[in-house]
Amino acid sequence: MVDQIPALLVLAPLFGALLVALVGQRDHRVCFPIAIASLSVTLIGAIAAAQHVFANGPMNYFVGGWEKPLGIGIHLRIDALNALLLIAIATVAVLVTFFSIRRVGEKNAEKTHYFYVLFLLLCLGLFGITIAGDAFNLFVLIEVSSLTSYGLIAMGSSRRGTYAAFNYVLMGTVGASFYLLGVGYLYLTTGSLNMQDIHSILGTNPEIASSKAVTIAFIFILVGIWIKMAFFPLYGWLPNAYSYCPSSTACLLAPLMTKVSVYVMIRVMVSVFGLEWVFVSLGWSHLVVWLAVIAILSGSVLALAQREIKKMLCYLIVAEVGYMVGGAWLADEGLWGMTGALYHILADAAMTLCLFLAAGIFVKRHGAREISDLEGMFKKSPWVMAAFIVGALAMIGVPPTCGFFSKFYLIRGGIDAGHWEYVAALLISSLVNAVLFFRIIEIAFFGNKPAEGHDHSHDDHEEATEIAAPHSAPPVWSGNLPLFASAIIIVLLGVFNGQVVALIRTFLEDLPAVAAHF
């Protein structure tokens, strides 16, 4: 039974989505139970898979039983690198499903079942990306998750959201096409699509590994994934797309899409090309770390300039992506940068979820879209604000939240690798986050309106779609439960950081010849 888990992880949301499509159009009330049930099954499966992986080593699953020769069938793989990420995705998905209860019922009630179908298919795509062991299969699942996210962003958003969704389609498709092109170059030179197979071919044939085509394949795969994760020069689509779409969509996309893309980048670096090839033969680590530094700084500065809460959080995501890409590329001897990046994927998912949920609740209950609207929020909803502060402290990097420890490992990697500019960028970004969030807390607590007066009546016609009519107000717990859960996860991840990092290290230390080369 345990060995069927990799298939189960994608099948549970798939059957959920199909069931919702079949019966949901008649009765919308069945959508939520089906969604929560299928995602819970996935969560249990992910936990069981992780237990199995940490006890018995990686799980390999060959769809259709086509195992030999390697690469004729599709290979699914769960190892220590993605086992924790699977749990994180499933947890976020379950929590956001609770949050989505009220979200969809209001405007466009007749489209509720479409929302849940897309939602479940998006989760399916993310699980599939995470367990894919075949480079082309990864492309197909990237497209599943992208297409559903285009739909989710464009449905029921304001008109600026629709235009943002269009740009997202263009950028997302170019990114996926670049990835596909890179895979094509790899196939052209190695004749295989299986990640392990490509890795061993590149390892045993130095003349192939040093060919121009493989380098170009890497460039295109990397640029394609960077577009998907909104890394520094290519982040233009993200802030508008995530801030003008419905809150429950933003809560699912913001914590997961960029992090899964970061995971894909690390997976490609580690399992396809190999760290030795990436860091030693290619030797671009300085360039990428500098790009990450610019990403962190520009994300932080742009976040300072925002008046809207969600948009500010979006620019913080851009900065966080810089943390992770920079950490992964630090190439320090003990791979502490990579450890920090992998830990930060989990930590950032929890932090972003918490903050976006809080932002969604502010909009929902109080119509507060801008920072200045948060005036007196401590009185209005003290508990929500408390959870928001937990998320904010994690963003700033205050112990014992997980944000502190991820920064600790990233900085350790930066110092080991001698990338002082990266360390400086991390510290500056923490400082900027502190300024940002203390400003918000000040407004929320003391309620003094900032001096620069502006009419926050603009965009009112766009906000109007989001504010709940009193009679259709959702149950309070549907927002609070996921919010508090995410705040607790932030603290727990921080407290148990030693154990989590130990699990991550088991993977990195197993990598062949890691220590020997750096």
Partner 1 sequence: MLSKIFASIAVAITGSILLYGVSDFPAFGDPNSPASAGVPGSESVSLYFIEESYKDTKVPNLVTSVLADYRGYDTMFETVVIFAAGMAIFAILRVVGNDGEEKRATSLEDSFTNGDHSRIIVGTTVRIVVPVIQLFALYVIAHGHHSPGGGFQGGVILGASFIIIALSENLNAALRRLSEQNYVRLAAIGILIYAAFGVMAQILGKNFLDYGVLEPLLFTDGPEMARSHSMLGVEVGVAFTVTAIMFAIYANLSSRGQLEKGL
Partner 2 sequence: MAEFIHENIEPYFNYWVYVIIMMIGLWALIAKNNLIKKLIGLSIFQTAIILFYVSMGVKEEATIPILDHHGHEVAASEHRLFVEEDGQKPAEGDHAQAEHHQAEDHDDHATNPDLIANPLPHVLMLTAIVVGVATLGVALSISQMIFKEFGSLEENEILEEIKASASDG
Residues lying near partner 1 in the complex (CB under 8 A) are found at 4, 7, 11, 14-15, 18, 21-22, 25, 61-66, 69-74, 110-111, 114-115, 117-118, 121, 124, 128, 134, 136-137, 140-141, 143-144, 147-148, 150-152, 154-155, 185, 187-193, 197, 200-201, 204-205, 208, 211-213, 215-216, 219
SS3 442: helix
From partner 2, partner 1, none, which one binds at residue 99 (CB under 5 to 8 Å depending on kind)? none
Check: CB of residue 419 under 8 Å from CB of residue 514. no
* Token pair 């943002």 in the structure block, residue: 164
Please, where are the H alpha helices in 268-308? 275, 285-304
Q: How far is the CB of 37 from partner 1 (least distance, A)?
A: 17
Q: Which amino acid is at 274?
A: G
Q: Which of 143, 307, 334, 445 binds partner 2 (CB under 8 A)?
A: 143
From partner 1, partner 2, none, which one binds at residue 460 (CB under 5 to 8 Å depending on kind)? partner 2
56 lines the binding site for partner 2 (CB under 8 A): no
110 lines the binding site for partner 2 (CB under 8 A): no
Q: How far is the CB of 149 from partner 1 (least distance, A)?
A: 9
Q: At what angle do helices 476-495 and 497-510 cross, to 10 degrees?
A: 60
Q: How far is the CB of 181 from partner 1 (least distance, A)?
A: 8
173 lines the binding site for partner 2 (CB under 8 A): yes
Element (H, E) at 77: strand 74-78
Q: Which range in 78-86, 162-170, 332-340, 401-409 contacts partner 2 by CB under 8 A?
A: 162-170
Q: Which of 170, 287, 427, 431 binds partner 2 (CB under 8 A)?
A: 170
Q: How far is the CB of 8 from partner 1 (least distance, A)?
A: 9
From partner 1, partner 2, none, which one binds at residue 7 (CB under 5 to 8 Å depending on kind)? partner 1
Per-residue DSSP letter, 518: -
Looking only at the bridges linking them, the beta strands covering 59-63 and 74-78 are antiparallel
Q: How far is the CB of 84 from partner 2 (least distance, A)?
A: 29
From partner 1, partner 2, none, which one binds at residue 459 (CB under 5 to 8 Å depending on kind)? partner 2
Residue 18 or 415 with smaller CB distance to partner 1: 18
Contacts of 149 (CB under 8 A, 6+ apart): 122, 168, 172, 249, 253, 257
From partner 2, partner 1, none, which one binds at residue 30 (CB under 5 to 8 Å depending on kind)? none
For 148-180, the DSSP string reads: HHHHHHHTT--HHHHHHHHHHHHHHHHHHHHHH
Q: How far is the CB of 192 from partner 2 (least distance, A)?
A: 10
141 lines the binding site for partner 2 (CB under 8 A): no
Check: CB of residue 372 under 8 Å from CB of residue 456. yes
SS3 330: coil
Element (H, E) at 63: strand 59-63
Tally Cβ neighbours within 10 Å of residue 212: 9
Q: Cα–chain-centroid distance for residue 480?
A: 22
70 lines the binding site for partner 2 (CB under 8 A): no
3-state helix, strand, coil in the chain (%, to 5): 80, 5, 20
**Residue among 261, 262, 164, 178 nearest 220 (CA):** 178
Q: For residues 15 and 34, give the distance between their C-alpha atoms in angstroms, rounded to a whole number.
A: 9
* Token pair 């001698």 in the structure block, residue: 418
Supply 518's token pair: 């750096």
Q: Tell me whether the omega of the peptide bond preceding residue 400 falls within 30 degrees of 0, making it cis.
A: yes
From partner 2, partner 1, none, which one binds at residue 65 (CB under 5 to 8 Å depending on kind)? partner 1
Supply 216's token pair: 């170009």
Check: CB of residue 393 under 8 Å from CB of residue 331. no
From partner 1, partner 2, none, which one binds at residue 169 (CB under 5 to 8 Å depending on kind)? partner 2
Q: How far is the CB of 17 from partner 2 (least distance, A)?
A: 15
Q: Which range in 161-169, 312-320, 381-389, 505-513 contacts partner 2 by CB under 8 A?
A: 161-169
Q: How far is the CB of 102 from partner 1 (least distance, A)?
A: 18
Angle at Cα 305 formed by Cα 302 and Cα 307, nearest 5°?
125
* φ, ψ (nearest 5 deg) of residue 451: -65, -40
Q: Which range in 142-150, 199-207, 229-237, 280-288 contacts partner 2 by CB under 8 A?
A: 142-150
Residue 233 or 283 with smaller CB distance to partner 2: 233
Q: How far is the CB of 371 from partner 2 (least distance, A)?
A: 17
Element (H, E) at 453: none
* Token pair 């749990």 in the structure block, residue: 87
Q: Which range in 165-173, 229-237, 413-421, 463-471 contacts partner 2 by CB under 8 A?
A: 165-173
From partner 2, partner 1, none, which one binds at residue 114 (CB under 5 to 8 Å depending on kind)? partner 1
Residue 92 or 147 with smaller CB distance to partner 1: 147
Query: What are the residues binding partner 2 (CB under 8 A)?
Result: 136, 140, 143, 147, 150-151, 154, 159-160, 162-163, 165-166, 169-170, 173-174, 176-177, 180-181, 184, 187-188, 193, 455, 457-460
